[in-house]
Structure 1
Amino acid sequence: MPTERPVVPTVAGEREMLRAHLEFHRATLAWKCDGLSDEDLRARSMPPSALSLLGLVRHMAEVERAWFRRTIGGETDLPLVWSADRDFQVAYDARTSTRSEAFTAWQEEVAHARRIERAAESLDVTVFAPRWNAHTALRAVMLHMIHEYARHNGHADLLREGIDGVTGV
């Protein structure tokens, strides 16, 4: 079944708008992977890059965990899924990974992220973000995640086109 992408409202409150854009981009990454085999999903972009659609899914699982569970949620001792601390590039190498493994990890992290964001009293909840070496608000993390997905969805579009010619916004 094809991934349904949510309609992003054009008029809404700030939190609803941020949440909708983030959900749209999460769904876009899944949509770019629809209908492909594990082998297709592991197809690398070009040497020497290890970048693949499956690698992007794995990478986003790491990023979701790092920002929502470790930073906003305070689970500072929680290891990343595949990488050593802060080495997000390792997740790109998905040569031995499967759709099931990668998507399960990513979907679990997205579920945790949703729970953490919804439990936060406001977008002004502020925590120390070691990655930025600064205090940061949930609002900044959500904006960062939207940017992260948007950038990688551009990569996903090119990867998908290289596999079977499918393109789309």
Structure 2
Amino acid sequence: MTFPERSEPAFDAAERPMLEGWLDYHRETMAMKCAGLTDAQLREASVPPSAFTLLGLLRHMAEVERGWFREVLAGEELPELYSTEEDPDGEFRVTEADTWAEADAAWRAEIAAARKNAAAYHLDDFSQGVGSAGEAFSLRWIYLHMIEEYARHNGHADLVRERVDGATGD
């Protein structure tokens, strides 16, 4: 596993590059929180009996990327990656068979799809799909929500990482 580089967002960018820069910063932070750990460490629960793990968190973020940029923004009809109707939190339930390689590949594929879909929209354009209450969202709203989602979960990841091996950081 290689340690990712993280780029600081520009201080003087226009709005869209600023939003994209902050989202990428938080994506890279998530990768940093998981870097250098074994699959077993990535599956280690934060505080047993909780099932909250770094691997589950990365899988969750793959689902979130997929949900907002593919299903809501672009209106694609897709199956969930890890969850089911019977187990709506399935991404958090990792087993010995679940690996970093698979989760990282799925997450990065969803990020690539997100970037591609977002490139076709202006910030004020509304989504082709809708949220759970039937509302459409602007790309600007989706970017801001995703920055918030990553920022919150990066805080969770920092605590789990400290529990796993004592490492802390921003």
TM-score range, shorter chain: over 0.9
For residue 93 of structure 1, report the CA deviation from its aligned partner.
1.3
Query: Is contact 2:30-2:157 (8 Å) kept?
Result: yes
Aligned residue number for residue 83 of structure 1: 83
Residues 129-152 of structure 1: CA deviation (Å, up to 9, x unaligned): 223431210110111110110000
For residue 7 of structure 1, report the CA deviation from its aligned partner.
1.4
Residue 147 (structure 1) aligned with residue 138 (structure 2): no
Aligned residue number for residue 7 of structure 1: 8
Aligned residue number for residue 101 of structure 1: 102
Query: Is contact 1:62-1:88 (8 Å) kept?
Result: no
Where does 1:59-74 land on structure 2 (aligned, <5 Å)? Answer: 59-74=60-75
Query: Is contact 1:59-1:88 (8 Å) kept?
Result: no
Identity %: 48
Aligned residues: 167
Q: Report which stretch shifted further, 105-114 or 47-56.
A: 47-56
Structure with bigger strand share is: 1
Aligned residue number for residue 31 of structure 1: 32
Q: Report which stretch shifted further, 16-25 or 93-102.
A: 93-102
- Secondary structure of 2:137's counterpart equals strand
Q: Report which stretch shifted further, 126-135 or 20-29.
A: 126-135
Query: Is contact 2:73-2:137 (8 Å) kept?
Result: no
For residue 119 of structure 1, report the CA deviation from its aligned partner.
2.0
TM-score (norm 1): 0.93
- Secondary structure of 1:74's counterpart equals coil
Which 5+ residue runs of structure 1 have no aligned equivalent?
Answer: none
In 2, Cα distance between equivalents of 1:161 and 1:92: 19
Provide closer, same or farther for how the CA distance between residues 118 and 83 of structure 1 changes in structure 2, counting only shifts above 3 A: same
Q: Which runs of 4+ in 1 moved over 6 A?
A: none
What is the root-mean-square deviation in Å for CA atoms of aligned residues? 1.6
